Structure 1
């Protein structure tokens, strides 16, 4: 049996994890952001920036990277909502005519058309249906709103702690690295150097793949929305880009827009948009994303794909980074478990 002195460090780690369980997510995001942006921090320091100034500039840049697009979205959305409100008011006053393609649906055309003519095609019918839906959702909305305030405050606190931790990691980076290296070498002097090398490579590769693909899908699908005649294509493109950061977000976006076009009486553009979105999604998820993420640690695209899907399905968004890292460790072990199996890279990319 292991001695008590050998168990004490692990008991201490378990107790510390239990104590900080509500803040582990904020600490993990701070560590990931520090690993991803560490080469930028080093580059600013080489240009003569003081360490604290470089840290503050990078934290501010990260905040603006999310705040600026959010402000654009809110401003654009407010303008689009006023247009939607005018359209709904006009349709409510005149009634919503049944789309022509509805008559061609097999089996369900007659009952669906009869319901439509009775409830939506008459003046005031749209307003009655919206009120009925809102009344049915009211209890759920009330309970959701009751917990919305505390949830927003808690997430704001976690975001503040993550950014504060990120700033401290930038400023005290060399000391933190020494502590982590010392602890890692004490746990496993054989495997820690390889893990230390694989971690930044896989994390930065994942970040590069996710951000590049999100930008690509936002631009490509935004142009497709414009060609298909969807309203506010720029806004929809930005929303799709944000959604593309999450697995399944991009297909959900272009499917909703396709359904909107179909319901608006444009089956041709709707079908074309959906087919183009599926084709673009196939290319991105099967070739582009795995190539961007896996090339830094020499992973095959199936390993990257299953690492992404398995990670996000198990531990959420953090799994997008944990999954490829674990796959990188697995393939390093399968290739013989030698340090030489980790691909060479520049020193500023390798250093955490």
Structure 2
């Protein structure tokens, strides 16, 4: 290179550097402007990656071939139904329970609360507990005074906060469905563009890493959501046959708890304790045994196989990614955490194999 070309080369290098800085600044500015919608976009990305095989399968139907927008609409409607129907059912049950709760509070303040029959069936301390109940709750004056000490203002504040969070979650869910529709409408074109951009920016290794991250997210969704739903259904059947009240609602709570590792036992253990307090000892033991078997098989065999097997991650890293992601990013971290662990695993393997 001649001396005359040096200033021109330096000028071109400075222009490329300035252009990169400009791109980065504009990207940060754009993210800051739309940061309120970032959770919806991230959720849409996670679900789009997880549902992409289903999108391709539906797109091969003869009626829907070469109609990506119609396929996207069908899939988004299915997602909305899967999420909205249980939510409506849960809110309706919760509203009914709250109404009954306030009715019971008014009845206690007016007439007192007589001791329930199951107190006499307690294995020990039955007489003492019954005597305390009669002295503090069965008398209208004592029961009303005890209820009067409840922080009703705090309860109303928590209820208002819960309502605001529910509305915010529904708005985020609506934007997520919109983003999912546009992602699926773009179809394979968007996938090719993303892989091309990753290959151009980071080479073939970058494109391979992006693919492995997508596989990790898909496996995590399958391992958490599908296994959690399966646990909820099986535990719901156990609740129904052992006589636990509100079996469907408890099944839904168990499914949500089962999406977090080792959280489902909290629900069925409480249900077993309720049956034991009611005197149904055999039903309580059956529910406890069935619940332990379901959770043991799901947590130690099915879930590690789906999550770790899809991304080739050790189960310990999967567990760290799930729990750490949940603690840092909430529910979204359940799916982002294992993807980040995949990145670390790939980087470590590349560093260890590099000569």
Task: Indicate the TM-score class for this superposition, using the shorter chain for normalisation.
Answer: 0.7 to 0.9
Q: Distance in 2 between matches of 1:333 and 1:308?
A: 19
Which of 181, 187, 196 aligns to 2:201? It is 187
- The 5 Å alignment of 1:1-352 reads 4-48=18-62, 49=64, 50-73=67-90, 94-97=114-117, 99-100=119-120, 102=122, 104=124, 112=129, 114-120=131-137, 122=138, 124=140, 128=144, 131-132=147-148, 136-247=150-261, 249-266=263-280, 269-270=283-284, 272-274=286-288, 276-336=290-350
Measure, in 1, the Cα distance between the counterparts of 2:181 and 2:199: 26
User: Could you give the per-residue CA deviations for residues 295-330 of structure 1, whole angstroms, max 9, x where no partner exists?
Assistant: 222223222222222221221111111122222233
Aligned-partner Cα distance in 2 for 1:150–1:235: 22
Query: 1:144-179, CA deviations, whole angstroms, 9 ceiling, x for partnerless residues?
Result: 344455434433322221111111111123443354
TM-score (norm 1): 0.78
11-20 vs 156-165, which deviates more? Answer: 11-20
Q: Which moved more, 1:278-287 or 1:59-68?
A: 278-287
Higher helix share: 2
Distance 1:117 1:12 in 2: 70
Question: Cα 1:59–1:151, aligned 2, differ >3 Å: closer, same or farther?
Answer: same
Residues 68, 187 of structure 2: 8 Å contact kept? no
Q: Which has the larger radius of gyration?
A: 2
Tell me the CA shift for residue 335 of structure 1.
4.0
C-alpha change, 1:126 and 1:327, in structure 2 (3 Å) is: farther
Question: d(CA) in 2 for partners of 1:290 and 1:333?
Answer: 22
- Offset at residue 62 of structure 1 (A): 0.7
- CA-based RMSD: 3.7
Contact map agreement 1:98 1:116 (CA 8 A) in 2: no
Stretches of structure 1 lacking an aligned partner (at least 5 in a row): 340-352
TM-score where L is the length of structure 2: 0.77
